[in-house]
Each structure stands twice: as structure tokens, then as C-alpha cells.
Amino acid sequence: MAALDTVRGVYHFLGDTVPRNLPLVEPKPRQKNQWRIRGKPAVAKVKTNSDVKQSIERSLNLLGNSLENVFHRGDKVMVKPNFNSPDPFPASTDMSFLRTFIEMLLETGSKVTIGESSGGIWRPTRNVLKKKGVYDLARDLSVELISFDDRPDEWVRIKINGDYLKEVTMPRSAYESDKFVYLPCLKTHRLAGYSGALKLAFGFVHPGERRGFHFNFREEKLAEISLCWQPDLIIMDGRKAFITGGPNSGKIVEPDLILASGDLTAIDVEAIKILNSYHAKNKLPADPWQSIQITTALKHRLGAGRDDYLVVGETESNTN
């Protein structure tokens, strides 16, 4: 079975193609970050305990807001986990974490959809989702689950006019969502250096378009995907992390943290700082602000700069 899965994955990685004659649309309007303290974007860092719900609630409370104030009855909310592969957490989203958060989000009255497309050699995505039990979870919670690559004609071309990407092919179901929640893991990445909130958006890109990202300007392109839209909330499960390798395997440590923010660059900078604290041999820059993903995102005003956000929780200070 494993050999057959590999053959299927290679077939998809090499053979997936982008449909022709897709509609060309504008990026989704940028929304104000609602997770601010004293007018500044903020990142919450919370030491976790055995109660995942309580840990998530603590992180959001530290940001001075609540799910009910940001997500409202009837909102179509796309939740983007990390099921790049079927490997265990932190390679992929922890299922209990995903269940807990979705249960919390459902209490707001939002219409929740889980959307995902796995990495090259692990596609088709439905195989990964079945192995992880995501279909069972979606059925139990009565939420929609979309494997993007199972919907070959439901895509749009988004005109972003980036420096390295002029258009990006993204799922129509995501584009038509009202709001987004990203649930990244905390980990290094063999090719991209780091996989966090910015990198998570790669899972939206049409599989047939992803191969081109690997040839040149990989990290710049990863950042420019977020010109299509930005998340309304990011919650990063940092209870465990890869400090080498990634995305599917590596040396595991246990920071025992949950990070929350509405800001793509701020949460990724704080996450890289956590990974760097372990002094492992990887491709992370010593200064997170020198990460190409971060510098590119800042160039396009996709997040807060060095002196423009606050950190609250275990380290309560102005970041600099």
C-alpha cells in the first residue's frame, strides 16, 4: 500500500495541470487586523497545559478580543490546517487541537469549512485526510470538508501583480469564504527554511502550479501568495516542533506553546525566534527579520515590521 501511495503521489506531483479558461478575479479586500493591543498588532504566547481549549482561550484573551467579536453567525469561515502529509504532529495538525478549535468556532454560529490540499508526493489529498481521520471529524462536527484537488473545475485565477507572481490559481471555495483561520504547525522546512503562517497558504495554490515555485525565488513566491487574501486569525500549535528537517520529519522538541495573532509576519518572526532558541543545524536565519519570506511580506505590507507589534503572555514586551 505504501508503495502504491508513493506511485500515486509522484504521478500527481508530475502530472497535475492547471485548468484552462479560469475566471480572472481581483484579490480579496484587505481587512483590518482585529487582534490589537493599544492600537498595535499583537502576538500572544501561552504555555500550554493538558486543557487545549483553555490554552487557546488564554491566548485569545491576552489579545484583548474574542472569537465572538470577530466571527459572527452566518459567516462562511474557511479553516486551513496543515495536512501536507499523513505524518504525526508536528508534521501535520494535531487532530484533538483541530477538533477543539472548530468546536469553539462553531459556538459563534459561523458556517465552518475545512479546506486542504496536500503536498506533492502525498496527494491525492483525500488519502491523507482519510488516514488522519479528518473526514470522520468533519462528519462528527457537521462541517464541510473540501479536498481542493478533488474539485478540478472549481478554481479562480487571482490577479496579484507581485514582483515574482502576477497571478495565482486558488480554490473558488476559499475565495468565496468570508473569513479565514490558519492553524499552522511550528517547524523548519528542508527547502523553504521555515514553515509557518506564510507558508501555510501554499496549500491553497493549485497543485499544477506548485512545481514552478521550486525552481527559483521560492521564498519570495511563498510570501506573495498572501496577496490573494490574509487570515483573520492565526493560531499556531507549538506544543511540539521540528527544529531540523521538515515538513514531514525532523528532530522534535517540545516548546509547549500556543501562539495566536492576526498578523502574518509578527507570528512567524516570533515562531522563528522560538526555533532558533534550540541552536540546531537548519536553514533558519539567525535574525528572523532577514528571512526572505518575512522581508518579501513586509515589502507588500502583509504584516507588522520590527517595532510595530507587541508580544503578550510568557514574554510581555514590545518586540524589537
96 falls within a domain: yes
What CA–CA distance (Å, rounded) separates 229 from 315? Answer: 29
Strands in 175-232 per DSSP E: 179-182, 185-189, 193-195
- Cα dist. 148→144, 266, 303 in Å? 12, 28, 27
- Cα dist. 84→20, 184, 244, 288 in Å? 26, 11, 17, 24
- 300: domain range? 23-117+133-311
What CA–CA distance (Å, rounded) separates 241 from 82? Answer: 13
The confidence score (pLDDT) of residue 36 equals 97
218 falls within a domain: yes
What CA–CA distance (Å, rounded) separates 148 from 153? Answer: 10
75 falls within a domain: yes
85 falls within a domain: yes
What is the per-residue DSSP string for 111-164? EEEEEE---GGG-SHHHHHHHHTHHHHHHHHT-EEEEGGG-TT-EEEEE---SS
76 falls within a domain: yes
The confidence score (pLDDT) of residue 121 equals 86
Grid cell 498588532 in the structure block, residue = 41
250 falls within a domain: yes
| CATH number of the domain enclosing 227 | 3.40.50.11440
Beta bridge partners of 259: 45, 236
- CB hemisphere CA count around 179 (13 angstroms): 23
The confidence score (pLDDT) of residue 101 equals 98
Chain centroid offset of residue 5 CA: 25
- Cα dist. 54→48, 76, 102, 141 in Å? 8, 25, 14, 20
CB atoms within 10 A of CB 204: 25
The confidence score (pLDDT) of residue 153 equals 86
What CA–CA distance (Å, rounded) separates 160 from 27? Answer: 6
Q: Residue 2: is it exposed, middle or buried by C-beta count within 10 angstroms (0-12/13-18/19+)?
A: exposed
Strand pairing class (144-147; 111-116): parallel
Can you state the angle between helices 292-299 and 264-276, rounded to 10 degrees?
160
Query: What pLDDT tens digit does each residue of the chain (320 aa) get?
Result: 566 555 565 655 666 788 889 999 999 999 999 999 999 999 999 999 889 999 999 999 999 999 999 999 999 999 999 999 999 999 999 999 999 999 999 999 999 999 999 987 898 999 999 999 999 999 999 999 999 999 988 999 999 999 999 999 999 999 999 999 999 999 999 988 999 999 999 999 999 999 888 788 999 999 999 999 999 999 999 999 999 999 999 999 999 999 999 999 999 999 999 999 998 999 999 999 999 999 999 999 999 999 999 999 964 433 43
What's the structural domain count of the chain? Answer: 1
What CA–CA distance (Å, rounded) separates 297 from 303? Answer: 7
144 falls within a domain: yes
The confidence score (pLDDT) of residue 111 equals 98
Grid cell 495538525 in the structure block, residue = 93
What CA–CA distance (Å, rounded) separates 294 from 197? Answer: 11
